[in-house]
Amino acid sequence: MLRPSPTGTSISIEQEELRGIARTVAEIHWLLLILVLLYLIFGGAREDAEANAAIWMGLFFYAALVMSFRYANFYRRETRWKIAIETAGMLLFTTWVLWYTDGLASPLLNAYLLPVITSALTLGKVFTLITVVLIAVCYVVLGGGIEPAELLSLPFIGAFFAQLAPVVLVAYITTMFSADIRYGLARAKLLSETDDLTGLLNVRGFALAANRLFAQAARHGRATSVLMIDSDHLKSVNDGYGHAAGNRMLRHLAESIQAELRFTDIAARYGGDEFIVLLPDTPAKGAMEVAERIRNRIAGSPLAMDSKSLATSVSIGIASYPEDGATLDALAAHADGALYSAKQDGRNRSVKFRAAAAA
């Protein structure tokens, strides 16, 4: 019986992270809208009817932006570029409101912290730096009535940086925290997709990486092959020398397989003593050559155990796209079938899947 397919449903950790971030960004949008509304309701309305109309118009268009990005596109794929556009809209709306509410003297001036926090949490150091620079430019514009000569004077520079300091401080601290969180998530992602014993990808990691590569190959009609590799001697090593020796053999097999692969190939431990390899841009003939190199390398490097030299060998099944299947699931299943044939034919051999034989 074939093992379960490695390409079953899996959810990208990055997409889940972006969805969570998007929900937080939506809450920040509404927080900014509520702050401006409360300001207008509780005494912040201007005597100038034109200024009030401009603020309400800004509220309307900003709310429309939030609704279109957060709800009209609710089921679409989240991207950092989408969040970057929203952050720019947040910055523009804040500047618009401040322009009509006393500029740098406005009680809403600290609303600039919201786009800074959004950028630092979601978009990284470079975009956060750009955001802070844009806010600094807005500070100069909102200050109004400043002569060009004053911009380089020490009193102006000192007062300017003192006023901008909270923005810079929040940007720096939030960016550092965000970088630490991203590092932790990256480590967790790596551990969740790596086999502890061999250091190769596990089934989940293989599925995530191989699905992307196979989709590209299928889109462009490029040949792709799958190898199923199984140890011929693991059970006897476990029985005769213990599981620690069996683990040594598995690590030895993983290293030998990896040594014969290109940087673009993907190898994973499929479970037990079985390994799976995806060979992009490799037709059946090339896959057979790779399989034979792996098989010969393993057969020619016995495992030293208690002053003895233990013979090692593997059996390999091969299936290639497009002739042996139109999906990665089909290739994995057919390569597994070819592996079974290799075992039946005496082991220590590479066998290409044949549809007629399988039928």
| Domain segments of the chain as ranges | 13-191, 203-358
Among 16-25, 98-107, 173-182, the range scoring the smallest mean pLDDT is: 16-25
Confidence of residue 10 (pLDDT cuts 50, 70, 90): very low
Instruction: Report the pLDDT averaged over residues 269-285.
Output: 91
Q: Is the pLDDT of residue 127 over 50?
A: yes
Instruction: Report the pLDDT averaged over residues 79-92.
Output: 88
Supply the pLDDT for residue 6.
44
CA 207, 212, 217: angle at the middle one, nearest 5? Answer: 120
Supply the pLDDT for residue 122.
84
Instruction: Report the pLDDT averaged over residues 178-203.
Output: 82
β-bridge pairing 303-305 and 308-310: antiparallel
Is pTM beyond 0.85 here?
A: no
Confidence of residue 103 (pLDDT cuts 50, 70, 90): confident
How much of the chain exceeds pLDDT 70, in percent?
88
Supply the pLDDT for residue 73.
60
What's the pLDDT tens digit per position in 198-225? 889 998 889 888 888 898 888 888 999 9
Supply the pLDDT for residue 267.
93
Q: Report d(CA 32, CA 21) in Å as an integer.
A: 17
Among 32-46, 140-154, 252-266, the range scoring the smallest mean pLDDT is: 140-154
Q: Give the distance from CA 187 to its chain's centroid.
A: 12
Q: Is the pLDDT of residue 32 over 60?
A: yes
Q: Report d(CA 347, CA 230) in Å as an integer.
A: 10
Confidence of residue 181 (pLDDT cuts 50, 70, 90): confident
Instruction: Report the pLDDT averaged over residues 308-318.
Output: 88
Residue where the block lists tokens 């601290």: 173
Architecture in CATH of 203-358: 2-Layer Sandwich (3.30)
Q: Is the pLDDT of residue 193 over 70?
A: yes
Q: Is the pLDDT of residue 2 over 50?
A: no
- Top pLDDT among 2 and 268 is at 268
Supply the pLDDT for residue 152.
65
Q: Of 18, 9, 7, 338, nearest to 185 (Cα)?
A: 18
Confidence of residue 1 (pLDDT cuts 50, 70, 90): very low
Q: Report d(CA 175, CA 182) in Å as an integer.
A: 10
Instruction: Report the pLDDT averaged over residues 126-140.
Output: 91
Instruction: Report the pLDDT averaged over residues 164-174.
Output: 90
- Phi (first) and psi of residue 6, to 5 degrees: -80, -5
Q: Is the pLDDT of residue 13 over 60?
A: no
Q: Check if the beta carbon of residue 301 is closer than 8 Å to that of residue 312.
A: yes
Supply the pLDDT for residue 15.
66
